[in-house]
Structure 1
């Protein structure tokens, strides 16, 4: 360990040594002496040394080496915090900015996961100072700094609830506020250029780096965050800052959202723009600067690509934003106005298919409920021809009894609407209606159809058939249509009766086997050895039934038999109505 006199001699030698004659061991010794000073708690002495006019040459060429130990003291919140902050501030104003930038970016790359927030908050103002010292050659540095900062922020969990955001345990909200403040002078620089200014390559690069920063921010953390207009949270304010920044750097929102092709965009770029559309049209952030000249149908058509991106995700935050953007984009569209030509667009096919996945596979009830509301809203906006085509598509592709029953229920509503007097569209009464009914009145696997799995669709189809027979006057006007529909009905009911009989025999046999104690124990033993033979309901798989207790199996079988009775009673009623109409 060097004595005080030896240290003074070393410093005196450095003061009188030209920079190009300093050796690597000089740099190492400088760092070692500075670190030792901090470890002894002598930050005030180190600051005094750094600020001494006689030492500015030493500080200028070797001071960057002290950034790491000084930052460590700041992050650890040692007693000498103020002295260490003042020392870092002096270094950032004295050392060469290129070397400072390199050193600060190195510090950003190697942050302990538990100290991300503290490190970022400590570095951001000094990093900004260094970049501003670079003058007209800072664009690349600004880009590198923003990228490094956002990479660290991406490691922090995004608070979801209001309580989590207010607590800000991991510091993401504070870091986002610091990041917005960091970017502000560079945004102002781009914004301040008037129309007469001839943009240089450096100017354009700075604008590009700021655009990248905005798009990354939209993806992380804003796409993951819960944002609501009634709660102007830290992340809400950060989102507002991003949407103010985009037009400020000459990136018009309409051009970015509505006219930039998505075809060759990366998934990340699509997510960023999807979040931008959500903030603009759902949360109304920045909407005052968005031109009102675009028709609701055009906006919907553009947003469908973003909605598709969000609904294809499995993340709750993405699905919530996708459903909200879908609903908001549809609300401004007039009912019964969307033409069938729109259904030929890829997004108008993909979005309902992704929405169907939410309705059938999403485990979260509130998302399924929102999905059903948006699904109906979309149907309401289609014109009659488009509804007809959409219903056919969903009946062919959904492969889910619940969704199919919902479509059949909508078909009945359209038939009822078409029967009303006036210039209503008759597309659900004429010859084209037969092709739709051919899909409705069919069983997926004929007489081998699992009736419980298809129960919802079958019951809704029988209810539609009963309604058509009761209101047969309008349909009988077209003799050929009525006769063909009657043929479809007879074939459907015949197959359904065979299916019900087969299923009832099977389920009755299973129920009988469960009723004796001895057979019950034998049943349990067989369950342990192999899969059960019990058919399943709409919400139960074969594998799940094998895990059921005999009591639950009994309930499933009894419920199946009651369902078959309901189906058969509807068939009987349909046949009674048919006979009554024939007599009249």
Structure 2
């Protein structure tokens, strides 16, 4: 009868009946040994499927029995065939407990197959990557001290837990390389490690100020140390950033030579996101990096301009994790540049792309701290250049930023630069003549003339008026040629502005009267308010009243600035006549 027993069903039944000793004794029973060996393939999936995330807590004996049975399979089964089944089970694992219980037997099989390992290690690492990719990307909207709560996010906890399991798995194979160097194996492992620094870890907060002792940071430190020990020169990966930026399609096989590409040319592993994660860890200053892993023979310009390609890639994200890493890396890279960079460098498009990314983040990011950091980095970036370079970048902000506050900030950057330039014996030519005239027209731009929405443009208008008054008072000798722009400023800008102010004030005062009218509250007449192109309906009366008063206050402020600017222009004209 015993010979007719289906070993797979029997072990499954014994495990379900909590008869763990009997289940473990079956493989060592002479009568079932051969059947056990022949059915290992089916047994692997049956045993693994008994394990759930809570098994080790609720049924520790079951978890232990499953571990021991998998070890017996490793001992008794044919290694090559068993390895393939374990690899498949990694990819289809239903939970982290199953993933975890597979890693040890998988490692043992790879060690047994050292002489005939071939591409088995690569397949194993690929299966691990496949499982990691199934973990949902962490999403959280927490800032400042609230970020400490991110560790409670289930997806973050999953990522951290899974990542902590990986170094013990690959460490023995790195140890082997120290004894017997193998370039292909080294690149296979190293490419895998670089890929780990991309998704999903790039979405997790690794800032030492908020998560200094976090397990995620410790795992990342282990990974980067292992990358540096495998590749003595970690900056060699800058080349692959360049390759990725070209968006060159790389096939698995080189069609020209028929040779297989190296692991570093596998874009599933070495892509812009994983490389961005790598160089964030290397350059941000958030991690300790081996000194000998960063050779000093590379030019600073090459390092910065190439790494900024990865920054620009991260700035395209909207999540906190990638953006915070992009800004940290960006700050570190800009600090590496000399304080005065020639404008010729702007022939490299990476700087304009960086500025565009920073502007978009500064305007549209959901996170206050991210927006503020981006604004600060715009200033740092622009001010790294000589005056001509600064003007080119500021002009670019005018072109791409359809946002009053950002254009106002660009005007402030221009004002600060020209104020700095006045300290020199001769004013730089980029602040004079036709170049100044071009900037004045950009600064004094009202998109729809007198019909422009002055509430929406308030920040830009206030900054522009203050700048013009500053320059007229500062440049008494007319070095810049600002006085040559008086006619345009008065007729095209201030005249339209006065007309627009009169129209806007009358409109908003009328709306306020409608709200204040006694019949309004009695009859429930709806008053529609349009601000910045958006109609504000269904909001409390008090809020509408506040919006109207705020707009009228802005109009009064602009009106006062217009009067002061007109006075400055008239005084300046008089001094010319004298």
Normalization by structure 1: what TM-score? Answer: 0.84
Shift of 1:571: 1.8
Is the partner of 1:175 in helix, strand or coil?
helix
Question: Which of 141, 151, 154 does residue 130 from structure 2 map onto?
Answer: 151
Shift of 1:450: 0.7
Residue in structure 2 matched with residue 25 of structure 1 by the alignment: none
Residue in structure 1 matched with residue 160 of structure 2 by the alignment: 173
Is the partner of 2:39 in helix, strand or coil?
helix
For 2:294 and 2:376, locate their aligned partners in 1 and report how far apart those are by CA, in whole Å.
28
Shift of the 167–393 alpha-carbon distance from structure 1 to 2, 3 Å rule, reads closer
For 1:558 and 1:80, locate their aligned partners in 2 and report how far apart those are by CA, in whole Å.
70
For 1:45 and 1:535, locate their aligned partners in 2 and report how far apart those are by CA, in whole Å.
78
Q: How does 1:173-322 map to 2 (within 5 A)?
A: 173-194=160-181, 204=184, 206-229=185-208, 231-250=212-231, 252-258=233-239, 260-262=242-244, 263-264=246-247, 269-282=271-284, 283-286=286-289, 288=291, 289-322=293-326
Shift of the 85–520 alpha-carbon distance from structure 1 to 2, 3 Å rule, reads closer
Is the partner of 1:223 in helix, strand or coil?
helix
Q: How does 1:65-214 map to 2 (within 5 A)?
A: 65-72=42-49, 76-77=55-56, 78=59, 79=61, 81-112=63-94, 116-156=95-135, 162=148, 165=151, 170-194=157-181, 204=184, 206-214=185-193
Shift of the 441–287 alpha-carbon distance from structure 1 to 2, 3 Å rule, reads farther
Is the partner of 1:220 in helix, strand or coil?
coil
Shift of the 448–50 alpha-carbon distance from structure 1 to 2, 3 Å rule, reads same
Question: Which of 539, 545, 560 does residue 548 from structure 1 map onto?
Answer: 539
Q: How does 1:367-406 map to 2 (within 5 A)?
A: 367-406=370-409
Tell me, yes or no, if the aligned pair for 2:443 and 2:464 is still in contact at 8 Å.
yes
Q: Computing the radius of gyration over CA atoms, which structure comes out larger, 1 or 2?
A: 1
Shift of the 300–521 alpha-carbon distance from structure 1 to 2, 3 Å rule, reads farther
For 1:404 and 1:368, locate their aligned partners in 2 and report how far apart those are by CA, in whole Å.
15
Shift of the 257–232 alpha-carbon distance from structure 1 to 2, 3 Å rule, reads farther
Shift of 1:376: 1.2
Shift of 1:389: 1.0
For residues 127-175 of structure 1, give each alpha carbon's deviation from its aligned partner in whole angstroms, at most 9, with x where no partner exists.
1111222223324322222222333334446778556649989554333
Shift of 1:526: 4.3
User: What number of residue pairs does the alignment pair up?
Assistant: 536
For 1:395 and 1:330, locate their aligned partners in 2 and report how far apart those are by CA, in whole Å.
22
Which segments of 5 or more consecutive residues in structure 1 lack a partner in the other structure? 1-5, 12-28
Question: Which of 563, 569, 575 does residue 578 from structure 1 map onto?
Answer: 569
Which stretch of structure 1 is more off in the superposition, 361-370 or 40-49?
40-49
Shift of 1:66: 2.8
Higher relative contact order (CA 8 A, sep 6+): 2
Tell me, yes or no, if the aligned pair for 2:382 and 2:390 is still in contact at 8 Å.
yes
For residues 35-65 of structure 1, give each alpha carbon's deviation from its aligned partner in whole angstroms, at most 9, with x where no partner exists.
2333343332343342356765444333343
For 2:413 and 2:368, locate their aligned partners in 1 and report how far apart those are by CA, in whole Å.
22
Q: How does 1:320-469 map to 2 (within 5 A)?
A: 320-335=324-339, 337-422=340-425, 425-469=428-472
For 1:347 and 1:10, locate their aligned partners in 2 and report how far apart those are by CA, in whole Å.
71
Residue in structure 2 matched with residue 495 of structure 1 by the alignment: 496
For 1:554 and 1:312, locate their aligned partners in 2 and report how far apart those are by CA, in whole Å.
39
For 1:219 and 1:425, locate their aligned partners in 2 and report how far apart those are by CA, in whole Å.
45
For 1:47 and 1:334, locate their aligned partners in 2 and report how far apart those are by CA, in whole Å.
68
Is the partner of 1:447 in helix, strand or coil?
helix
Which segments of 5 or more consecutive residues in structure 2 lack a partner in the other structure? 141-146, 249-266
Is the partner of 1:535 in helix, strand or coil?
strand
Normalization by structure 2: what TM-score? Answer: 0.84
Is the partner of 1:410 in helix, strand or coil?
helix
Shift of the 575–35 alpha-carbon distance from structure 1 to 2, 3 Å rule, reads closer
Instruction: Tell me how large the CA RMSD over aligned residues is.
Output: 2.9
Tell me, yes or no, if the aligned pair for 2:198 and 2:274 is still in contact at 8 Å.
yes
For 2:243 and 2:550, locate their aligned partners in 1 and report how far apart those are by CA, in whole Å.
53
Residue in structure 2 matched with residue 517 of structure 1 by the alignment: 518
For 2:551 and 2:13, locate their aligned partners in 1 and report how far apart those are by CA, in whole Å.
81
Shift of the 82–48 alpha-carbon distance from structure 1 to 2, 3 Å rule, reads same
Shift of the 358–68 alpha-carbon distance from structure 1 to 2, 3 Å rule, reads same
For 1:396 and 1:106, locate their aligned partners in 2 and report how far apart those are by CA, in whole Å.
53
Tell me, yes or no, if the aligned pair for 1:394 and 1:404 is still in contact at 8 Å.
yes
Tell me, yes or no, if the aligned pair for 2:92 and 2:131 is still in contact at 8 Å.
no
Residue in structure 1 matched with residue 257 of structure 2 by the alignment: none
Tell me, yes or no, if the aligned pair for 2:206 and 2:216 is still in contact at 8 Å.
yes
Is the partner of 1:122 in helix, strand or coil?
helix
Tell me, yes or no, if the aligned pair for 1:395 and 1:407 is still in contact at 8 Å.
yes
Shift of the 281–446 alpha-carbon distance from structure 1 to 2, 3 Å rule, reads same
Shift of 1:495: 1.8
Shift of 1:217: 0.8
Tell me, yes or no, if the aligned pair for 1:415 and 1:429 is still in contact at 8 Å.
no
For 2:335 and 2:413, locate their aligned partners in 1 and report how far apart those are by CA, in whole Å.
19
1:45 lines up with 2:22 in the alignment: yes
Tell me, yes or no, if the aligned pair for 1:418 and 1:427 is still in contact at 8 Å.
no
Which stretch of structure 1 is more off in the superposition, 134-143 or 275-284?
134-143
